[in-house]
Structure formats: structure tokens, C-alpha cells
Structure 1
Amino acid sequence: MFNCSRILVVFDPYHDVQPAFDRACFLANKLHANILLVSCIYDETYDMTNFLSTDQRVDMKAALMNGQVKAMNQYINKCGAVNVEIKSVWHKSLYRGIIDTATHEHCDLIVKSCKEHNKIAQKIFTPNDWHLLRFSPMNVLMVKNHDWPENGNIVAAISIDTNDKVHNLLSERVTQISADLSQLVKGSLHLANTFAGAPMHVAIEVPSFNAQAYNLDIQAKHEKEVKAIAKLHKLPDQNIHVSEGLPEDVVPGLCDKLDAELLVLGSVGRRGISAALLGNTAEHIIDRVNCDTLVIKPQVQ
């Protein structure tokens, strides 16, 4: 179940429009959840200058944070009956400040909008966005400018046939949460799954190997597994999408084709050297879709 009682929304002090807050208000009304609106700010000049005393630095920081509180207060009335709290945080690292606050305040979901890139007029992900998605222990909703109309499409990207228990359980969570959300917002749920076809060099090196038959067999197995999942949630066959290829190539194309309002996918948050060398499949996907993305994290046992 998609249990969410407390939503942390990242306030953007550099823009008058706050799409993350608007989306959080929509969800909070549906889920009967509370909202914590947080502005995480830092100005290194306040710490570096030698012309100010310690007390003066404290006063200037307090004035800046109070200014953020006043700015956030302008958005409270947009949520109607939803309870909204406001908090200003001073932290050198935006993503770490947000994660620490969400953890301390027992939030279930973090909602943040993507940064708008003026040159190409589209939403892009900043390093803070990637770090937030990678290190956050709770689910993260990245908001773009796509509306959430009734009867819209929600795409759940799932994986099957893996020996990795963590990924198996994560796919189950993604499917269940996607189903819950589709009922909540009266949307149509679609399941997306991909499989790796036979490598080209195999057919060349082993002439007796029938690559086409192999691919058809693998596709049939995936379709059988996905249809079993779809049956549990009473989804029609036309809402099942199994394709050959990499998820980062297939899923964004499907989202565009369906004009999806939301993509739901799981991420174990690969870190360190493996992340630098291999990257994360989830990150490759969400950077290429033009809709909101809900990233589901493994459930803490």
C-alpha cells in the first residue's frame, strides 16, 4: 500500500512558481497527509567574511532564514484544509539537508521539482537531484510540468526473472504502489518490462543458434510473468508492454507514446565506484521522460 502521512516539499527560493508544492497539495488532499515545506539554504559568504562578529553572522543568517519563512508563507493557503508546516534549514549541502530533515521529521515522501534550463526550455536534473535520488532512504517524487488529469496514464517499470531478491521485492512494491496511485487519482495503470535479446555476435559465431527463436521464447516468458502480475491487479492485456531492449531506451519512448502523467520505478541507489562506472538504470530513465517520476526505494526491514 502507498502509505504516506507526511510529505516533505523542497521549496525553490529562486522561482515564484512552485510546481512541487502544487503537486504535493494535490496528493496530500487525496491521501489526507500533512505537508512540511522546507527551504534549505546556505551562503558561504556569511561564514567566510572577517568583517563580521560571530553575533552579527548569527543575526544575518537568522534574517535570511526568516525571509525564507515569509516567502514560504505565501503558498500555505493554496492547500486549503491540508495542514502545512514551514521550516527553514541552513545546510551546506541541499540534498543532505533535505534528507536529514525528512528523516528527523519522519516524512514518508520527498517532493522536489526539477530545475528549468533556460537555454533549451526544459526541465533537467541537477547534481543535487541525483544525490537526493541516490541517497534518500524514502521515496522521492521528481516533478516536471506535466499535468495529472483524471483518466491519465501511469506507467510502472518493473523487472522480472532476476535472482536478486532485493530487485524482486522492489518490483512488487512498484507495482502495488502504482496500482494504489492509479485508483487514488483515477488513472489507467500500464506495466512496462524489457528483456535483453540475443547478442548479435552469437548468431555469427554460432551459425546453428537461432536468435529469432531465442528472442521469441524470452519474450513469451516475460509476457507470461507480466500477465500474471497484471491479472492480480485486473489490468487488461493492452496495458501490458513487454519489449526487447534496454529500459532506458524503451521506457521513455512508452511514456511519450502514452503521454503518461507519472512514471513509477524502483531504485536501489547504486553508489561509489559502481555508480560512477555503471550509473543507475533509474537515473538513465528519469532524465529522458517528460512526466513526473516517483522513485521507490527498497522497504527497510
Structure 2
Amino acid sequence: MSIYNKILVVANINNDEQPALARAMQLAAKSRSRSQVKFFLSIYDFSYDMTSMLSIDERDAMRRGVIHQREQWMQKVAAPYINDNIDFEVHVVWHNRPYEAIIAEVFAGEHDIVIKGTRKHDVLESVIFTPTDWHLLRKCPSPVLLVKNSDWPENASIIASVHVGSENDTHLGLNDSMVEQLKSLTDRLGAKPYLVNAYPVTPANITIELPEFDPATYTDAVRGHHLTAMKALRQKHGYDEDQTVVEQGLPEDIIPEAAKELNAAMVIIGTTGRTGLSAVFIGNTAEHVIDKINCDILALKPQGYISPLDPKTAI
């Protein structure tokens, strides 16, 4: 189980407030061993590379100057968050694709987790996920924590969105990983843990195609299967029945609803990291859920996941 002692925090260049850094320091401060937090930023300005009047050395000097300015700004905005008991450093790189720079840093520094702030829509209080967020959720090898607010609410809960109806080894492994992370995070952050699962509605067309089909019996059987599987999972990890929720419906409806009712400050999800055409045409259930959740999101990959940006697999 990861204890998140090597944390990579992505800076928000548009604001002096850094909720991701606040959450990182909160987690690091409650670690049993000394933690390392790297405050990271990827910057790029196309004009610096296209100025034909400057020599290569002059362009390099200008880039170094911009990087130095950003480093000074990051040290300044980080000052209120820094804890002397935590190893802290600032790192700025010149890269035209932020998500690639972040993932490269994860591999280079062997970071346990990436923590990044999300944009909040003040009117609707919804979270807006950027293209960089989606790339990280699909391709980052480490867990990704997307943070909405720097303050951790009182009497908050953390829920793990488990998928207990499946016999798929990937889902079973992700369930165990999510519950282990749930234990670790609720201990660190003083939150209440819950396991939440959604099971499917009986397809309406079955009753038309099969007149003898009894939807009530089928629904009861599906619910019973999910309740039994949830019981096995909670007992395996030492949770009580009142810490579980099993509801009929789509995950993208049930999980956000449960998060709101349980005052969740964080939802842990599993994502298989589907990319390319399969992501476009099939879609990730996790990503549909994420769109509707109004709190921190921790996304975990299955064991053995290989990022398409892994330098070891590069040709």
C-alpha cells in the first residue's frame, strides 16, 4: 500500500492560492516518515522558440530567465504552506505539453502520487477538468489526486467507488487497492470511510423480447449478488455494514449522489486508463463519474498498468 511519501504537486500558474500544495502538505505532515514534496511547473512560450533574430544561446538565456522568474514566484506562493519537517523543492521545466512533462517527472523522480488543483466554477460550484487533467487520469502511472479546495471540511467522509459485481481480476484488484487507500487516507485526514457500489438497472428490452422474463426476480438476484460481494469486500478489510452503500443505477448518478449525501470531501475511483479511439467511442465509466463529482478525486490505475509514456517502453 502506498503511503505517499514522495509527492509531486503541480503548481497553478494562474493563482497565488495553491490548494493542491495545501493538500500535499496535509498528507505529508501526517506521514509516519519524513516526506518529500516537489512543487512542479511546466512552462512554454512559443514566441521564445520562433524569434529568428536571436541566436540559440540567446534564446536559451531567455528561457532560463523565464524559468528563474517562475521559480522565484513559486517559492513565494509556497512559503505559507511549507513545513520544516518536510523536504521541499521547486522545479520548473520548459515543455510544450504539460501532461508529458508531469508524467516524465513522475518516472524520473519515482513519485508516489501526483496532486493537482482543478478549476472551480464559482456560480455552479462544479469542477471543470482541463485537457491536462484528462491526460493524467488516462496516462499517469501513479495515483492522481485532483483537488478542489485547500480546506478540508469538518466531519467529512471519503468514499471508495468500488465495482463489486465483477469477477474480472482487474476490477477485483482495483477494489482492494481502493479500499487500502481509503484506510490510509481516512486515518491521515480524520475522515469517515464508506464503500459505494452501483448495480445495473434491468434492461427494458428484455421484457419485450422474453415475455416470460420476470424483471422483479432478476433485479432481486442482481441486488443479492452485489450485496453478497460487498459483504465479502467489507469483511475482508474490516468495515461494518453501515459503512457500505449498494444502490441500483448508473455509477455516474449513484456515486455523485452518495458523495453529496455522505458529505464526501474525496472520492476514490479506479480507472483502467483507456486511451485513443477506445476512449472516444467506448468512454471510461470513471470519467463519466468524475464529471459530476464536486469534491477531490483520487484516481488509481490497476496493478501492472503500463503508461504509454513509460520511457522503458519507448522504441
**Structure 1 and Structure 2 fold alike (TM over 0.5):** yes
Could you report, residue by residue, the CA deviation over 1:82-132 in whole angstroms, capped at 9, with x for unpaired residues? 111110111110000001011101111000001244675643101111011
Distance change (3 Å), C-alpha of 1:121 and 1:252: closer
Distance change (3 Å), C-alpha of 1:68 and 1:4: same
Contiguous gaps of at least 5 residues in structure 1: none
Question: Residue 264 of structure 2: SS of its match in structure 1?
Answer: coil
Residue 146 of structure 1 contacts residue 292 of structure 1 at CA under 8 Å; is this kept in 2?
Answer: no
Deviation at 1:54, TM superposition (A): 1.3
For 1:120 and 1:243, how far apart are their aligned partners in 2?
A: 26
1:70-219 matches, within 5 Å, as 70-74=72-76, 75-81=78-84, 82-117=86-121, 122-145=126-149, 147-149=151-153, 151-219=155-223
For 1:86 and 1:145, how far apart are their aligned partners in 2?
A: 22
For 2:114 and 2:210, how far apart are their aligned partners in 1?
A: 50
Deviation at 1:270, TM superposition (A): 0.5
For 2:2 and 2:117, how far apart are their aligned partners in 1?
A: 21
State which of 284, 288, 294 in structure 1 corresponds to 2:288.
284
Deviation at 1:184, TM superposition (A): 2.1
For 2:80 and 2:201, how far apart are their aligned partners in 1?
A: 53
Question: Residue 184 of structure 2: SS of its match in structure 1?
Answer: helix
Question: Residue 287 of structure 2: SS of its match in structure 1?
Answer: helix
Contiguous gaps of at least 5 residues in structure 2: 306-315
For 2:196 and 2:125, how far apart are their aligned partners in 1?
A: 28
For 2:207 and 2:142, how far apart are their aligned partners in 1?
A: 44
For 2:51 and 2:122, how far apart are their aligned partners in 1?
A: 32
Matched residue type, 1:68: R
State which of 215, 224, 231 in structure 1 corresponds to 2:235.
231
For 1:44 and 1:120, how far apart are their aligned partners in 2?
A: 34
Residue 146 of structure 1 contacts residue 261 of structure 1 at CA under 8 Å; is this kept in 2?
Answer: no
Deviation at 1:134, TM superposition (A): 0.6
> Which residue number corresponds to residue 55 of structure 1?
57
Deviation at 1:151, TM superposition (A): 4.0
Question: Residue 261 of structure 1: SS of its match in structure 2?
Answer: strand
> Which residue number corresponds to residue 13 of structure 2?
13
Question: Residue 189 of structure 1: SS of its match in structure 2?
Answer: strand
Deviation at 1:145, TM superposition (A): 2.0
What fraction of aligned residue pairs are identical, expressed as a percent?
35
Matched residue type, 1:18: Q
For 2:302 and 2:126, how far apart are their aligned partners in 1?
A: 30
Distance change (3 Å), C-alpha of 1:105 and 1:291: same
For 1:51 and 1:119, how far apart are their aligned partners in 2?
A: 46
Residue 120 of structure 2 contacts residue 148 of structure 2 at CA under 8 Å; is this kept in 1?
Answer: no
For 2:284 and 2:57, how far apart are their aligned partners in 1?
A: 45
- Give aligned pairs, total: 301
For 1:192 and 1:30, how far apart are their aligned partners in 2?
A: 26
For 1:278 and 1:174, how far apart are their aligned partners in 2?
A: 23
Matched residue type, 1:17: E
Matched residue type, 1:78: Y
Deviation at 1:147, TM superposition (A): 3.7
- Alignment RMSD (CA, Å): 1.7
The normalised TM-score by structure 2 is 0.91
Deviation at 1:150, TM superposition (A): 5.4
Residue 141 of structure 1 contacts residue 292 of structure 1 at CA under 8 Å; is this kept in 2?
Answer: yes
Distance change (3 Å), C-alpha of 1:4 and 1:121: closer
For 1:294 and 1:225, how far apart are their aligned partners in 2?
A: 23
For 1:102 and 1:267, how far apart are their aligned partners in 2?
A: 18
Worse-matched range after superposition: 235-244 or 84-93: 235-244
> Which residue number corresponds to residue 4 of structure 2?
4
> Which residue number corresponds to residue 311 of structure 2?
none
Worse-matched range after superposition: 194-203 or 94-103: 194-203
For 2:150 and 2:234, how far apart are their aligned partners in 1?
A: 26
